[in-house]
Amino acid sequence: MKQEVFKYSGSFVLESGAVLQNLHLAYTTYGTLNSEADNIVWIFHALTANSCPHEWWPDMIGEGRVFDPAKHFIICVNMPGSCYGSISPLDINPSTGAAYYHQFPFFTIRDMVHAYRLLQTYLGITKIRVGIGGSTGGQQLMEWAVQDPELFEYIFPIATNAVHSPWGKAFNASQRLAIEADSSWQNQADDAGRKGLEVARSIALLSYRTDMAYNKTQSEANDDLIEGFKSESYQRYQGSKLSARFNAFSYYALTKSMDSHNLGRGRGGVVAALNSIQAKTLALSMEGDILFPPYEQEFIASHIPEAHVKLILSDYGHDGFLLEFEQLTEAISHFLEKEQLVSNK
């Protein structure tokens, strides 16, 4: 495993028109590029993860796993705006000499992919065998597959969509409202909005999981209890757990990035954009996902030429893409093997 930082020396122009002179991307690689340069797997992480998928997808990355460094050259980049090494709101704004904080420029999903393509050029990559990502990571994958239809041989968009829905935007808006309601949010400090972030995370969890998951893990054994319930302490714990490793500025920025996702913008509509994708596609859905419902992946598969869709059974809803390793491995492996047989014929 290697962790590196790509620094771009030119001017990077965002969709908003803002210009950055200090674009940099933290990225992690595993394995070695083979002589044919045809063993690349590009993984896109979700909202608050980092560029080390072995930490948050341990049963998908590693020796004997579906993505094995002994066979594949695996790349994962930290999203711009995140706090794990790529350019972020806590970085110094060269024009002011102080941290960006609230003035951090707005990165759309499309901007993120433009940044990744600079790294792609720097690494000399002309073909990617597999692109895979869940949630907002899947949004980035979809955007790239539209921007460069011939780049990916296979794509696996998981629990994601072609356009971020009004429902998803509403969840994100409520989370940002929670951060804005924190009296410390306007402070020029790294920990501004920390309590608001904790509330935002508790809101997000309700969209990531299902009633079944909560009823299985947070039920009370004591019928006489009238307060101090497990579910409340769980919400508080998850909020404080995130605020200890993340910051409100990054969270605020990345939820806005997610909201910007629309493959059809400036391309004649979503269907036309999906029709342009040439990669062999298996869209993966999570049973009970209320944030990215299965019909959104069915829509993706119905408009990408010869694409397929597979439902992963889970009690965990959206979070199933981080937990249902066996089913994901089986679905991905089977699809790759089947498509390789077809290609050989």
Residue 342 pLDDT level (bands cut at 50, 70, 90): low
Q: Any bridge partners for residue 328, and if so which?
A: none
The residues, ordered by sequence, that sit 6+ positions from 122 with a Cβ below 8 Å of its Cβ are 6
pLDDT tens profile 172-221? 999 999 999 999 999 999 999 999 999 999 999 999 999 999 999 999 99
Q: Residues 6 or more apart from 233 whose CB is under 8 A from it?
A: none
pLDDT at 33: 95
Mean pLDDT confidence for 228-257: 97
Q: Are 108 and 254 in contact, with CB atoms under 8 Å apart?
A: no
Q: Please, which pLDDT band fits residue 46 given cuts at 50, 70 and 90?
A: very high
Q: How many other CB atoms are there within 10 angstroms of residue 64's CB atom? A: 6
- pLDDT-derived band of residue 89, with 50, 70 and 90 as boundaries? very high
Distance in angstroms (rounded) separating the CA atoms of residues 34 and 37: 5
For residues 10, 13, 17, 23, the Cα torsion angle rounded to the nearest 10 degrees is -80
Q: Evaluate if residue 345 carries a pLDDT over 60.
A: no
pLDDT of res. 338: 86
Q: What local confidence, expressed as pLDDT, does residue 327 receive?
A: 98
* Percentage above 70 pLDDT, the chain: 99
The pLDDT confidence band at residue 10, using thresholds 50, 70 and 90, is very high
Going from the C-alpha of 7 to that of each of 15, 30, 343, the distances in angstroms are: 20, 20, 38
In this prediction, residue 339 carries a pLDDT of 74
Which tokens sit at 300? 């993706």
CB 315 within 8 A of CB 288: yes
In the structure, what pLDDT confidence band is assigned to residue 38 with cuts at 50, 70 and 90? Answer: very high
CB 39 within 8 A of CB 72: yes
Going by C-alpha positions, the residue among 248, 278, 261, 289 that lies closest to residue 136 is 261
pLDDT one-digit tens code per residue, 93-128? 999 999 999 999 999 999 999 999 999 999 999 999
Work out the average pLDDT over 324-339.
95
- What does the pLDDT look like over 274-318, one tens digit per residue? 999 999 999 999 999 999 999 999 999 999 999 999 999 999 999
Confidence at residue 106, expressed as pLDDT on a 0 to 100 scale: 97
Residues noted as catalytic: 135, 289, 318
Could you tell me the pLDDT band of residue 344, with boundaries at 50, 70 and 90? low
- pTM for this predicted structure: 0.96
**Helix or strand (DSSP H, E) at 24:** strand 24-30
pLDDT in tens, 51-75: 999 999 999 999 999 999 999 999 9
What's the DSSP call for residue 318? Answer: G
Q: Which helix (H) or strand (E) holds 242?
A: helix 230-243
- Distance CA(119)–CA(75), nearest Å, equals 11
Please list, in sequence order, all residues whose beta carbon lies within 8 angstroms of the beta carbon of residue 208, skipping any fewer than 6 positions away. Answer: 291, 317, 318, 319
Given a contact cutoff of 8 angstroms between Cβ atoms, the answer to whether 263 and 271 are in contact is no
Is the separation of the CB atoms in 107 and 257 below 8 Å?
A: yes
Mean pLDDT of the chain: 96
Say yes or no to pLDDT of 343 above 70.
no
